[in-house]
Amino acid sequence: MSRSSDSETMYDLTDVLDFEALESVRPGSNILVSGPAMSGKEDLALSVLADGAERDQGSLVVTTGDRAENVLEDFLDRAPEADESRVSVVDCRGDGSRRGEATASGSYVYHVSSPGDLTGIGIGITECLEYLHNNGAESGRFALTSLSTMLTYTDRKTVFKFCHVLSSRFDSAGYLGLFTIDSSAHDDQTLQVIKQAFDGMIEIREEDGRREARVLGLAGQPTDWQEF
């Protein structure tokens, strides 16, 4: 097996979320980011990617809701120092056929017509990974926002399998994967099942206007809640 040897660089997420459990995350780890609506899950996931982009790592976002150009603009605001040729987006709100193209500033965008087109998303991810690799990104971070939208297009079984296959692919690629889910939009059984496709979870909640997070499953016992 070629993946995750000791020599590989661990991912340090503590600049974004200061937990000991996130200090040294193994390449190939896939993390579910779970929290109620409007609690900052996507914000957190993109911040983790932006943090990586400023360390010359590749960034790949699969978005089910926002247009690629908006995602790119937002992303580059967060990571002004990023090498744009190592940033890529799979936009699932495309119109018409699947297609990939480099933007004027050198990022790569792949369009898929629906979040239910799993094959198209797969091809987009493959093309993006290749693009990032060709532009010198030896490691990278991936975010999918959001699984909740995917669950409205396809059933739990398919989304579970999709998550598992994607996780395996990112494990092989040595990427760090983040997948957001709106915990208030699904029943407990769905969350319980989807969770199993991941190595760990970052849970978010909002208490009296304060955002708190905790980490489960990545290193030892669940952490305590902590404001971020």
Partner 1 sequence: MSGSETPVVLIVEDEPDVAETYNLWLADDYEVRKAGSGDEGLAELDDEVDVVLLDRMMPGLSGDEVLERIRERGLDCRVAMVTAVEPDFDILEMGFDAYLCKPIRSQQLHETVENLLERSAYDDMLQEYYSLVEKQATLEATKGSAELADNEEYLELRERVVELKEDLSDTLGGIDDDEDFIATLRGLSDVEE
Which residues lie near partner 1 (CB under 8 A)? 1-3, 116-119, 121-123, 125-126, 154-155, 157-158, 160-162, 164-165, 168-169, 171-173, 188-189, 192-193, 196
Nearer to partner 1, 188 or 227 (CB): 188
Minimum distance from CB of 47 to partner 1 (Å)?
A: 28
Minimum distance from CB of 81 to partner 1 (Å)?
A: 30
SS3 assignment for the chain? CCCCCCCCCCECCCCCCCCHHHCCECCCCEEEEEECCCCCHHHHHHHHHHHHHCCCCEEEEEECCCCHHHHHHHHHHHCCCCCHHHEEEEECCCCCCCEEEECCCCCEEEECCCCCCHHHHHHHHHHHHHHHHHCCCCCEEEEEECHHHHHHHCCHHHHHHHHHHHHHHHHHHCCEEEEEEEHHHCCHHHHHHHHCCCCEEEEEEEECCEEEEEEECCCCCCCCCEEC
Minimum distance from CB of 97 to partner 1 (Å)?
A: 11
Nearer to partner 1, 39 or 167 (CB): 167
Nearer to partner 1, 195 or 211 (CB): 195
Nearer to partner 1, 187 or 224 (CB): 187
